[in-house]
């Protein structure tokens, strides 16, 4: 039996192809960064063709290095940066412009002009009316790229998030599909009815014929011949939902929090949609065999990127891992507080114009104090998310963490202390690609069902809360000062 699985993890700054075995063990990976484009302030673009090239080249590197042919691969899984919007020509396959990336804020004014629609958009999609999601980006492309609107009306253009574009490319145009998790981030998809919403299509002036078919996360998304013989694409999910699956958060109340460049906390809310009163997003966790699981999500735009800023912007240290010893060595009576709003504040504030600040500087403040306060600030933002989830009546019974920052033990212990929950770190912190691998493996029958996946879960370390005083209250005061 073919037992190896390849997960394609198409992220915001790099693409990875990861090889897993039938027990979910990571065997090897290939990674490539690709170019980012910042044509104007607040604009962020990717070239879809460069994304595709990075996928091809990481797949080739991985398979060559491991002497793999298509007959060794049971299935391919895809996970991807969500919301990023691509429009391409159905006949020529050519994108009509660069992709507009989820971070891009060019549609902020348009969103403001729709403020009367906020409530109905939230009811249908679970999302806040924000440039973050695909709908206003797609509207922008159709109205600003010459001739696009007419071509779309004629049925000559296709819209997709990155998963859809990659499926289309991998299957040489045979499959035009997406999965429910990616669809749930477009702001065009009704998460209750689980279909494209006619009212939203009218609101954003999007012709329905340019939208892909929406499928379960475990599904036959088509086959690819790029490695010779045919391999089925058996699993697809957006990156944060893939991490939820990779962390095996299959029961209501299970939470995963990813601390990479940004931080994304998601709680499984089971078969019910929890509508947030606290500016969190209701979204689809996954749908397998037609059974839907919803989730509540909070995102913090700046997490590891604040560490990068200390390292590259302020030259405080050479390697991010040094933050651990700096934080440990910092003075215990420093009053420094950092608000890391370097690119605005995400949930629960949603204040794009807020900017960062450092409070409480004195003559003896040093690099260690500011570093420690920066790490703490990301924990305080996590505490905000947790409190918002609790207020929204989400169950909350365990916290699984992953992402680059959780290599830092001081950070994980403080996270447990301040959130007052047990924090568990898995052995594989590469949970996004693991989730895509699980989905693909489920389709191929390499894994029996989602319950069987739990037996592969390995915990590296568990952090239990220690009762220590913390400065969350004071920090909230500091945040008040930067809100616009
Ligand atoms: P992404 O997937 O978003 O590119 P990663 O999950 O690879 O991000 O995490 C990278 C981030 O984690 C970087 O911003 C880096 O500064 C931060 N990071 C890496 N190691 C540590 C550490 N030991 N302590 C704190 N931050 C760290």
Our answer on whether the CB atom of 13 is closer than 6 Å to any ligand 1 atom is yes
* Confidence at residue 318, expressed as pLDDT on a 0 to 100 scale: 95
Our answer on whether the CB atom of 407 is closer than 6 Å to any ligand 1 atom is yes
Distance 40 CA to ligand 1 centre (A): 27
Ligand 1 pocket test, pick from 54, 307, 317, 322 with the greatest ligand atom count within 8 Å of Cβ, gives 307
- What pTM value is reported for the model? 0.91
Q: Which atom of ligand 1 is nearest to the CA of 258?
A: 6
- Domains along the chain with CATH numbers: 4-237 (3.30.420.40)
Which tens digits make up the pLDDT trace of 365-418? 999 999 999 999 999 999 999 999 988 887 777 799 999 899 999 999 999 999
Distance 406 CA to ligand 1 centre (A): 8
3-state secondary structure string across the chain: CCCEEEEEEECCCEEEEEEECCCCCEEEEEEEECCCECCCCCCCEECHHHHHHHHHHHHHHHHHHCCCCHHHEEEEEEEECCCCEEEEECCCCCECCCEECCCCCCCHHHHHHCHHHHHHHHHHHCCCCCCCCHHHHHHHHHHHCCCHHHHHHCCCEEEECHHHHHHHHHCCCCCCEEEHHHHCCCCCEECCCCEECHHHHHHCCCCHHHCCEEECCECCCCEECCCCCCEEEEEEEEHHHHHHHHCCCCCCCEEEEEECCCEEEEEEEECCCCCCCCCCEEEEEEEECCEEEEEEEEEECCCHHHHHHHHHHCCCCCCCCHHHHHHHHCCCCCCCEEECCECEECCCCCECCCCCEEECCCCCCCHHHHHHHHHHHHHHHHHHHHHHHHHCCCCCCEEEEECHHHHCHHHHHHHHHHHCCCEEEECCCCHHHHHHHHHHHHHHCCCCCHHHHHHHCCEEEEECCCCCCCCHHHHHHHHHHHCC
Q: Which atom of ligand 1 is nearest to the CA of 262?
A: 3
* Confidence at residue 350, expressed as pLDDT on a 0 to 100 scale: 85
* Confidence at residue 343, expressed as pLDDT on a 0 to 100 scale: 81
* Confidence at residue 1, expressed as pLDDT on a 0 to 100 scale: 64
Q: Low-confidence residues of the chain, pLDDT below 70? A: 1
Our answer on whether the CB atom of 138 is closer than 6 Å to any ligand 1 atom is no
């Amino acid at each position: 039996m073919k037992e190896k699985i390849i997960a394609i993890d198409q992220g915001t700054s790099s693409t990875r192809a990861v090889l897993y075995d039938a027990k979910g063990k990571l065997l090897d990976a290939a990674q490539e960064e690709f170019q980012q484009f910042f044509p104007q302030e607040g604009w962020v673009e990717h070239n879809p063709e460069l994304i595709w090239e990075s996928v091809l080249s990481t797949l080739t590197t991985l398979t060559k290095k491991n002497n793999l042919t298509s007959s060794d691969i049971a299935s391919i899984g895809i996970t991807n940066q969500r919301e990023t919007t691509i429009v391409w020509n159905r006949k020529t396959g050519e994108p009509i412009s660069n992709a507009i990336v989820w971070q891009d804020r060019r549609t902020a004014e348009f969103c403001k002009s729709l403020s009367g629609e906020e409530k109905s958009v939230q009811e249908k999609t679970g999302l806040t009316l924000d440039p973050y999601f695909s709908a206003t980006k797609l509207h922008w492309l159709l109205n600003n790229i010459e001739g696009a609107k007419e071509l779309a009306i004629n049925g000559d253009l296709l819209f997709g998030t990155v998963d859809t574009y990659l499926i289309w490319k991998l299957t040489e145009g045979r499959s035009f599909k997406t999965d429910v998790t990616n669809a749930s981030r477009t702001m065009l998809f009704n998460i209750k009815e689980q279909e494209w919403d006619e009212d939203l299509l009218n609101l954003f002036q999007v012709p329905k014929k340019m939208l892909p078919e929406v499928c379960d996360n475990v599904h036959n998304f088509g086959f690819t011949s790029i490695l010779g013989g045919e391999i089925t694409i058996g699993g697809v999910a957006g990156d944060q939902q893939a991490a939820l699956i990779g962390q095996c958060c299959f029961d209501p109340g299970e939470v995963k929090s990813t601390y990479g460049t940004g931080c994304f906390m998601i709680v499984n809310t089971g078969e019910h949609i929890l509508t947030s009163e606290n500016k969190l997003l209701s979204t689809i966790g996954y749908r397998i065999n037609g059974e839907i699981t919803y989730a509540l999500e909070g995102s913090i735009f700046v997490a590891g990127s604040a560490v990068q800023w200390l390292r590259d912007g302020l030259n405080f240290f050479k390697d991010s891992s040094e933050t651990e010893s700096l934080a440990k060595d910092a003075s215990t009576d420093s009053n420094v507080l950092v608000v890391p709003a370097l690119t605005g504040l995400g949930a629960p504030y949603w204040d794009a114009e807020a900017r960062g600040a450092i409070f409480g500087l004195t003559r003896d403040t040093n690099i260690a104090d500011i570093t420690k306060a920066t790490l703490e600030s990301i924990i305080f933002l996590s505490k905000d998310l947790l409190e918002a989830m609790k207020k929204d009546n989400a169950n909350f019974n365990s916290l699984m963490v992953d992402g680059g920052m959780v290599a830092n033990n001081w950070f994980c212990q403080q996270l447990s202390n301040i959130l007052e929950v047990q924090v568990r770190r898995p052995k594989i912190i590469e949970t996004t690609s693991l989730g895509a691998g699980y989905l693909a493996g489920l389709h191929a029958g390499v894994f029996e069902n989602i319950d069987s996946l739990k037996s592969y879960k390995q915990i590296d370390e568990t952090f239990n809360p220690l009762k220590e005083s913390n400065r969350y209250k004071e920090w909230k005061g500091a945040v008040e000062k930067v809100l616009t």
